[in-house]
Amino acid sequence: MPTPRSRRGSLTPVFLKMKKFNFRKVLDGLTASSPGSGSGSGSNSSGGSGAMHPGGTAGVLREEIQETLTSEYFHICKTVRHGFPYQPTALAFDPVQKTLAIGTRTGAIRILGRPGVDCYCQHESGAAVLQLQFLINEGALVSASSDDTLHLWNLRQKRPAILHSLKFNRERITYCHLPFQSKWLYVGTERGNTHIVNIESFILSGYVIMWNKAIELSTKTHPGPVVHLSDSPRDEGKLLIGYENGTVVFWDLKSKRAELRVYYDEAIHSIDWHHEGKQFMCSHSDGSLTLWNLKSPSRPFQTTIPHGKSPREGRKSESCKPILKVEYKTCRNSEPFIIFSGGLSYDKACRRPSLTIMHGKAITVLEMDHPIVEFLTLCETPYPNEFQEPYAVVVLLEKDLIVVDLTQSNFPIFENPYPMDIHESPVTCTAYFADCPPDLILVLYSIGVKHKKQGYSNKEWPITGGAWNLGTQTYPEIIITGHADGSIKFWDASAITLQMLYKLKTAKVFEKQKVGEGKQTCEIVEEDPYAIQMIYWCPESRIFCVSGVSAYVIIYKFSRHEITTEIVSLEVRLQYDVEDIITPEPETSPPFPDLSSQLPSRSLSGSTNTVASEGVTKDSIPCLNVKTRPVRMPPGYQAELVIQLVWVDGEPPQQITSLAVSSAYGIVAFGNCNGLAVVDFIQKTVLLSMGTIDLYRSSDLYQRQPRSPRKNKQFIADNFCMRGLSNFYPDLTKRIRTSYQSLTELNDSPVPLELERCKSPTSGLATRIPEAAAGFCRNEIPAVRHRNQVHHLPVKGSRKLSLPTDLKADLDHVNGHYTSPTSQSCSSGKRLSSADVSKVNRWGPGRPPFRKAQSAACMEISLPVTTEESRENSYNRSRSSSISSIDKDSKEAITALYFMESFARKNDSTISPCLFVGTSLGMVLIISLNLPSADEQRFTEPVMVLPSGAVLTFSCMDRTGALMQPPYEVWKDPNNIDENEKSLRRKLVMNCPSPSQDIGDHQYTIICSEKQAKVFSLPSQTCLYVHNITETSFILQADVVVLCNSACLACFCANGHIMIMSLPSLRPMLDVNYLPLTDMRIARTFCFTNEGQALYLVSPTEIQRLTYSQEMCDNLQDMLGDLFTPIETPEAQNRGFLKGLFGGSGQTFDREELFGEASAGKASRSLAQHIPGPGGIEGMKGAAGGVMGELTRARIALDERGQRLGELEEKTAGMMTSAEAFSKHAHELMLKYKDKKWYQF
């Protein structure tokens, strides 16, 4: 690996002749101002691309690269969905296959099995799922939706598809029941009628149980909707129908009449049978449970109010809340289980939702964190006429899924293997890393497993259905989620699974806010002051950095050892001062007074607390308080440094909009709509802290207008849809300050003549730094807060902030004139008032009251800006820098930061550490970093930050077309004693080969704006390619990723298009209208990564992963789990001859004969409409029509018939075996009593 090039800072004057090189063209197609440019314009989501300056070295370099990516490499498809199903409504379980199904209000169905078996499917109508019914051990599922449609899903393929649909036209579905091993589905409706559907053909039978025939003729009121249907465990020919008003009808299907009726005063919510079929239990709206015996239907056999108070003599029992569902499950060797939800007393309003388990005389109440949607009891047998032997209860909550172990007396819950707690705290940001270092997952898991919760059941997870294997693509993948409570979760996402590895709580570095405190934070956000806003992670060096909504940055280092130490904090004063622009006046004004004696000193860190107007105005106060006492830090990520932005003159700090960290340089950079800060986290010092406007040199493209310091305090609703990404930041509360809140239209009026006269006519020629400016650079040492004391760090030398050479002449102007012999006197301008003096006070001693004082020469590239008239539509905008707005606000946010070894200036011959900075106005500049030459000196010698003129980029490629990764430091445990005893030498991996001695360009740089992408060659700064990505929308997310060992540019547009372009030629490879942007959550969390992977938060509780790789799509079938595996249905218990004779109906019940068309006739066509399903068995894909389709359907029918014949043959063989055994026992019995007389018995 090549060694890093480092320079040591010095005060030796530098003379460099730089040519002013400004790109003033916008990237929305107005590229005519560049000579030789040729860019096409497209429509909708794609545009044209063109080459610029094709001659010279750039042309030679371009010919050397052979791009291997073609459109055949790309294809978009969803892979898997993780997390808890959003807004669940229904639950079902297959006791043989051991699979679980969950329906949602949005029409989605999630099918879960063993870990790795997780399938998502969606109803096209989007109607809410009312009920789910498995065809037990048949590989099929019936769903009833709120649009009164029944759907039959085929689960014998990895992606389920609908085989049939049946839509009811005149009645609304309220309840469904499918008996075990039956092909006839009972459907109850809102009118009280019961219909019967053939599952195989999905055709309605002519057999109907009308409500007026079910109830007594003397009843004058309608019984209400059907709330329960079930056949008797004792006799399949009897159907129990429960109506809402408290009526229960026991219907004889053969005789088509009601055998008995039950009436109760309270409404019925649910019914469940005793396995013997002689009793059933009802739950009611008054919190009571009634047990009924079929022999005495006139009144309940038993009535209880489990949570009601004991009634006094002569008084009625106290009513409780409704019991929404009850299940009555019997055990062979113990008392039965009665499990129900609800039923609590009304006087306990603060009680949480609960599940009650009654077992014998013991009553256990399990309180839940969320309301209960549905629950199911898991039993050992699928047969309803056997002892149920319950072993677990699946409880579906509004925001969680838990399983309770019934086999232990304390009823512990099982540890959930699914990632159902993604939304434990709302997700505010995401990051996705594919092809990570392989040891990271094991390291994070080994640390995280120590902090897992205890008290789970020691038994295995009971939902074990399906089959799953790793598949072919097994590279390590990690997903990181940031949450509203300040927590960070690391997830193992390898092989399309998701498992939590490690959880980090960032709020532990801050003091807990007491009641009545936190007023300074409420100016930014009303709640969730620790919410994570941005994440930056270097997997190789294990450096981790986060920024929060309260304008703070925390840098973490990974260690396997526990330490107890104090948290070092640093306060940075970052503000935006456009008022310092000289306002021209027609009258001549005297020169500026000497302000150096009037202004007090202030450090860049803002650690000196000042309160103006006798403590009324907040100033230099952070939003949160960092812990000052020693803190125990367990193994894992440990806080290295906390950086906080402070209040400035009564205004709270703005939220951070960009973040970047370099472990090789030991530097973190972050910016917001006020400016940019660069911090050395090795020496804990601020290297740079200045407003965005000061980063430019004097030839600024845009003239900023003055604004009121309190203007941002007024939040206007229209300002939320400003431009570009401004309206896609976390909307945690109403008063949250978005990063781009004040990005409104700019004034493109020319620079005043008086202002031009204040510029040095030879600004490209560097001069010596004056003593005042040099003093400003040398004496501004940031302070660190430590143990409630503010002191300077004991470092050798001092921090130097070096300014661009072409602007040092401007710093000679301190007292109203220039000391440079080549500059002119500035005698015209507005005199500073007392208010202006207070503004100048912010800059510290020796700093002139001009924004040009620290402006940086940069290569200015103007990107598109939003027009005022297009604000009404926040998703389709065009941007133009030539249109002014009435509502002008001049803030320019730092939107992107990137560390790289590159060429800092045009035509440089050597590469050096650089920081690329991009703003919301499309301006990009490079800041050069001068690092100490020796590794040992890195911990003591200062780092120099030099804003300098250069080109724009956010990713780099070498001359062979390979993507260049930012340099990083190899991880070394900072708390390992053995390693600390070794040399302090830092092992750096630069990933940037040194350029050869050949004359020519050595790097490509890629920049992508909200409209366009450009490719430049360095160091000649030649623009090679331009591509108009979109004309009618704008880009939300863009990343340079690696696929098949080649780099490409991936973009997600606000109109829902996903576009892939090859590099460096920017040839379109893929353009798919994937997802219409209907929620800002998608824009906030969408992210690309290598190997063709991407993800976004599709709902508040679910993460959707997708791939744009054709290879991944081809292998997806092998990676998905099987929902159905062939399992033999368990045999029913032998009931015995006498029990079969006296315990139930002796005659068989043929549903086919009773419900078939021959006996029941056809149902009315207007009652329900049959809709063939779009999918089916995998072989049905080829059955599009014609002879092939008929042959395919015939083959499938033969397969199904053969399967049924095989099952019939097995049943026949079983019956023959039983008959032979019975004949044998009968013959033995006959021989035994053959010769006995009658009196011998």
Instruction: State the Cα–Cα distance between residues 828 and 695, nearest whole angstrom.
Output: 25
For residue 728, which of 1101, 1097, 1106, 1085 has the smallest C-alpha distance? 1085
> pLDDT tens, 199-236?
999 999 999 999 999 988 777 789 999 999 999 999 99
Q: Which two tokens stand for residue 1002?
A: 């050595």
- Alpha-carbon dihedral 1078, 1079, 1084, 1088, rounded to 10 degrees: -40
**Burial environment of residue 738 by CB neighbours within 10 A (0 to 12, 13 to 18, 19 or more):** buried
Integer angstrom CA distances of residue 927 from 898, 906, 918, 930: 10, 13, 11, 10
Residues 6+ apart with CB under 8 A from 1150: none
Which residues, in sequence order, are CB contacts of 821 under 8 Å at separation 6+? none
DSSP 8-state symbol, 332: S
CA 1029 – CA 1066 distance, rounded (Å): 10
pLDDT score, position 580: 44
Q: How many CB atoms lie within 10 A of CB 951?
A: 30
- Look at residue 312 in the predicted model and tell me its pLDDT: 67
Angstrom distance (rounded) from CA 797 to CA 778 = 9
Residue 341's pLDDT is 95
What's this model's pTM, rounded to 2 decimal places?
0.76
Closest among 262, 280, 187, 259 to 229, alpha carbons compared: 187
Torsional sign, CA 193, 194, 197, 199: positive
Q: Coil, strand or helix: which one is 353?
A: coil
Query: What single letter denotes the amino acid at residue 731?
Result: D
By CB neighbour count within 10 A (0-12 exposed, 13-18 middle, 19+ buried), where does 983 fall?
exposed
* CA atoms of 590 and 830, how far apart (whole Å): 9
Distance CA 858, CA 929 (A): 15
Fill in the DSSP letter of residue 540. Answer: T
What are 562-618's pLDDT values in tens digits? 999 999 999 999 876 654 444 444 443 343 333 333 333 333 333 333 333 344 567
CA nearest to 353, candidates 287, 289, 398, 315: 398
In whole angstroms, what is the distance from residue 901 CA to residue 1030 CA? 31
The dihedrals phi and psi of 451, each to the nearest 5 degrees, come to -105, 15
Residue 669 bridge partners (DSSP): 660, 678
| pLDDT at residue 984 in the model | 58
C-alpha Rg value of the chain to the nearest Å: 37
The CA distance from 448 to 430, in Å, is: 19
**In this predicted structure, what is the pLDDT of residue 878?**
34
Write the DSSP string, 1218-1241: HHHHHHHHHHHHHHHTSS--GGG-
Mean pLDDT value across the chain: 74
Ranges of residues in the chain with a pLDDT under 70 are: 1-64, 312-316, 348-350, 472, 514-526, 576-617, 697-890, 934-938, 940-941, 943-953, 977-984, 992-1001, 1135-1148, 1175-1203, 1237-1241
φ/ψ bin of 1120: left (φ > 0), alpha (ψ from -120 to 50), beta (otherwise): beta
Question: How far apart are the C-alpha atoms of 1144 and 144, rounded to whole Å?
Answer: 32
CA atoms within 13 A on the CB side of 884: 10
